[in-house]
Amino acid sequence: MVYVIKKSMGDFKFSPFFFLLFSAAAVFCAEVSITVVDQDLGIPLEGARIVSWDDSETFCNTAGKAFIFAPDDRTVVVQISYPGYESSRLALRPGTVEYTAALRLGGIREERELVIEASRPGSSETVSGRSVAISGRELSRPAETGFVEDVMRAVKLLPGVGYIGGYMAMPSIRGGEPSDTTAVFDGFYVERPFHWDGAFSIFDPKMVESAQLSHGVFSARYGHTISGLLDIRAKTPSGDTAEVDLAVSTSAANLNLSFPLDRGGIFLMGRVTYWDPFVAAAKIFYEEVRYISTAPYIRSFAMGASYDFTTDLSFSANGFFGFDGVGAFYKEDSDDARIDANLAWDNKIGFLTSALHFNPGKKILLKTRLGAGFLQSDLGAKIDSENKNTLHTFSQGSFFTDRTINVQGRIDLDWDAGKGFIVSTGVEERYSRWDRTEYYSWNYNGDQRPSIDNNVMNHGMATALYGLFEYKSENRRFGMELGLRGDHFRLSGKDFVLKGIPSVNPRLNLDFGILEEKGVIDALSFTVGTGFFSSVNNDLQNISSRNDIGEYAATQNRSWTSVLGTKIDFTGGYVFTLEGYFKHVFNRAYTLYLIDPIEYTDNAEYFFDGKALIWGFDCMLQKFSSRLWDGWVSYSFIDARYKDPKTKHQLRNLGDWYYPRFHRFHTLNVIFNYKPVPAVHLTTRFSLASGMPIPKTVAIREINDPPGIIPYYERIQKYEHNSRAGLVIPLDVKLSFFNFYKQGKVRREIYVSFENLLSLVYKPEGFKDFDRNTGKETASTIASYDLPIPLVTFGIKWSY
């Protein structure tokens, strides 16, 4: 028996903090062993995941055994899961220290490939050279922090991900363009899955079972990216237990419900943010915040359902609907000028997807998916100004609407050919319609300038076909994955058709198991992979006949990627991964916009000869959940040079090689979770990242042409390799106190979190602001998408 702590409440009556800390932790704990076996065969299930009473995770060893700590003064419940098996719940009662849990093989073999690829199924699909994944508490601890809880908060801390900031969910993956990263939600491609144009993702941690970031030579099952694939697996509702989660904080409220059915379950989730009190308080101290008329908001709803018709046929469905927005104004009335400006911005996004899994035979799995989604963004802005010295007036109105509808379906077939061989094939089809409306108007001194009224409606079809051959030797010392994927797109609109050229993408991975159970090493493996990838540039969605692109001129972005990686599993739950890679990007599309500051024109030229040379390495040392602490350290080095040969733009180095605006050489993340007692959790996240490229100012000139306009100044900048923003060093801390009721079914968490604490003493220097009216450069902006002040969030959660 291990005595954690026991004190009378009177000992700490002088301090409410210590009273809360120790009264919540006043429990005895005993070490309990749990052995997980196959119900029919009795064989141990190595890697089975046990979610403990305090939400910590433990994985079974080669004997199917795991050790956890449990209170000896009440009954608690743990959850046990293993891919391909039905999940189970086990009650741990005082006085019993050994348990055996038998799991029954499920009729659905949807995650067959997990058993083949992952040595530790509980951590989803972490496979050296292909992907890294997090699930359970590894995912929720960093994700459930801050003003807006977001899965991307955890994903951004993984190796290979360039630092972008706490308030941007579109990072660069191994040097690739942020807009090229593709998100998949249970097999459904989600277009622009963001709130506030990329500030946060739509993936609330409560609706997600696991997140897998594929940034190596990943399976030919998926495509549409040359940078990275984010595969989000929806939470599976429990088929035998009702679950309720309610969370209320100073910035948001969440409610999650899960109901069991006879052969399945239903999951519902809702989220509402309310930043109005924070904005109102911030207006007292910060001038910029005073111009917010509508506080930023998010409203979202998600649902999931699953049902097993038979042991060989199951159905699942997932849906999401959300909207967000913000409003702002600016008013000035001085002796020199009068300015009146207003802005309103609203966004909507939603999708509904379904899947049917069927086992027509013992060795065949057929999966079909069908879904549809939409998104809409509406932006309206109006400004009226007057220069009281020159009596010049200026008015401008801008209205923008962007709508997207997409319908997609896919069929996948997996066949277990025996003796370690699996053959897979599949086809997918995606239709998209993009509808964009733009209206701009100008008035100078009562002279109405020509208005710009652009309406573009385009239709796109993306088709893909793949074949996959997998092999794993009986002793698991050698594995191979050979795939071939073909991608094609067709884009049409008013008076034009782009047929594109099909891209053929072969991919090969070889896995070698070097050592097993040698000293402190449980397993040592080595991976080598190479393959081709393709994607379609998002800017092509808005082209029209006036862009004059040939029928077969628009090519897909292509990349050839090669990876070398190793993974070491140590005793004690430590895992170390190291990967080096090289990517040659070619046929990359890029755009040059020709914009006149007075007579607005939106003529754009499209080119398809862009290049990029990207290389680097990243590593991660991870400690899986244990009694006292867990977490990981990740480091990424990325060298990514781009080249746009046809451009003469100064910030793209006049068509020569340059580092793109999102590039950082170094990113270090440290995630440390400490549990001094079971009822107290301390979560910290520290990052250190080198600066992004910033342009260098070479001249400032006054503009007085055409006559009659209000004079203004123009800043001339150029690109330089060594011109960079300052280092970024964010620090986030979350302290949680848990209370567990005697029945073991209800848990309460009270927490406080602090974001960007180090901003109190350090603000990295970023871009220089520029005043077009005075021609002066002002104070630097912050060098990342972080708020320049620490944010504090209080909250309470109940779970049943």
770 beta partners: 777
Is the pLDDT higher at 282 or at 582?
Answer: 582
Confidence of residue 97 (pLDDT cuts 50, 70, 90): confident
Range scoring the smallest mean pLDDT among 100-104, 188-192, 388-392, 481-485: 388-392
Q: Which of 188-202, 406-420, 446-460, 554-568 has the lowest mean pLDDT?
A: 446-460
pLDDT for 4? 32
| Single-letter amino acid, residue 688 | L
505 Cβ contact list (under 8 Å, min separation 6)? 220, 223, 484, 485, 486, 487, 531, 532, 533, 534
712 contact partners, CB below 8 Å, separation of at least 6: 702, 703, 772, 773
Position 761 scores a pLDDT of: 85
Q: What is the mean pLDDT of residues 320-337?
A: 86
Handedness of CA 297, 276, 787, 767 (dihedral sign): positive
The DSSP result for 52-86, as a single string, is: -TTS-EEE--TTSEEEEEEESSS-EEEEEE-TTB-
Q: What pLDDT does residue 742 have?
A: 57
610 in Cβ contact with 642 (< 8 Å) = yes
- pLDDT reading at 595 higher than 60: no
Q: What is the pLDDT at residue 597? A: 44
Looking at residue 639, the DSSP 8-state letter turns out to be E
Least confident of 41-45, 420-424, 779-783: 779-783
CA distance 276 to 400: 26
- AA identity, residue 140: S
- Position 668 pLDDT exceeds 90: yes
Confidence grade of residue 279 (pLDDT, cut at 50, 70, 90): confident
Q: What is residue 666's predicted lDDT score, i.e. its pLDDT?
A: 96
Q: List, for residues 10-19, the tens digit of each pLDDT value.
A: 333 333 333 3
More confident residue, 707 or 432: 432
619, pLDDT greater than 90: yes
Better-predicted residue by pLDDT, 299 or 91: 299
- What is residue 118's predicted lDDT score, i.e. its pLDDT? 29
- Predicted TM-score of the model (pTM): 0.82
pLDDT band at 146 (very low <50, low <70, confident <90, very high): confident
- In the block, tokens 């999401």 appear at 320
Q: Is the pLDDT score of 117 beyond 60?
A: no
The backbone region for 250, taken as left when phi is positive above 0, alpha when psi lies in -120 to 50, beta otherwise, is alpha
> Residue 288's pLDDT band (boundaries 50, 70, 90)?
low
Q: Kindly report, residue by residue over 749-778, the tens digit of the pLDDT.
A: 999 999 888 888 888 877 777 777 778 887
Of 277-281, 442-446, 527-531, where does the model show the most confidence?
A: 527-531
Residue 181 clears pLDDT 80, i.e. is over it: yes
Instruction: Read off the pLDDT of each residue in 395-417 and give the average, rounded to a whole number.
Output: 92
Q: What is the model's pLDDT at position 710?
A: 63
Q: Provide the pLDDT for residue 329.
A: 85
The predicted pLDDT at position 478 comes to 93
Supply the pLDDT for residue 313: 92
